[in-house]
Amino acid sequence: MPLTREQKQELVEEYNGGLASARHVFLVEFKGMSVPEATELRNRLRRAGGGYAVLKNRLALRAIEGKALEELKEHFRGPTAAAWCNDDPVSLAKALTDFAKDVPALGLKVATVDGHTVEAEQIKELASMPSREELIAKLLFLLQSPVTRFVRTLAEMPRRLVVVLGQISEKKA
């Protein structure tokens, strides 16, 4: 059953709300994917903090007109879906590549991360990077390490003084 003009307008507005305004968007191909597999993909992407929608290419092209995603318009061919988020592109890329390993029907097409186009092979490299939280934890560890060593050194001086005074008192006694 064809869509009415109102339904098409609603879809364009929905695409504008999520897809066209997102900082990180991944376009995927899903030929031959079953409904339970698509549901599992949606759940994984939600856990990663992203959204997912199967796109009507013509309507999606209307929604991205004049936006950063317009440079990807040649990839809106065939069955296309989009996964997007505004926070951490690495976790979304990990969720997509892990799912693509389990379900070969999902194919990565292209992505835009902070306005930069990322090809399918680069998406796999992006997925192999540590997440934002892991990088912050490593940075905090590196910043904390010199301070911790300095405090230990300062604490060692009085301990050594007490040991020396204890040895002197033993010699005198």
CA distance 37 to 39: 5
Backbone angles phi, psi at 111, to 5 degrees: -145, 165
Helix ranges (H only) for 103-131 are 120-127
pLDDT in tens, 117-135: 888 888 888 888 887 788 8
* Nearest-10 Cα torsion for 50, 51, 55, 57: -50
Residue 96 burial (C-beta neighbours within 10 Å; 0-12, 13-18, 19+):
buried
For residue 20, the model assigns a pLDDT of 66
Q: How far is CA 125 from CA 9, 97, 107, 122, 131, in A?
A: 37, 10, 15, 5, 12
> 57-64 and 5-17 are packed helices; what angle lies between their axes, rounded to 10 degrees?
50
Mean pLDDT score across all residues of the chain: 84
pLDDT in tens, 56-99: 888 887 777 777 677 887 888 888 888 888 888 888 899 999 99
Q: What is the mean pLDDT of residues 126-151?
A: 85
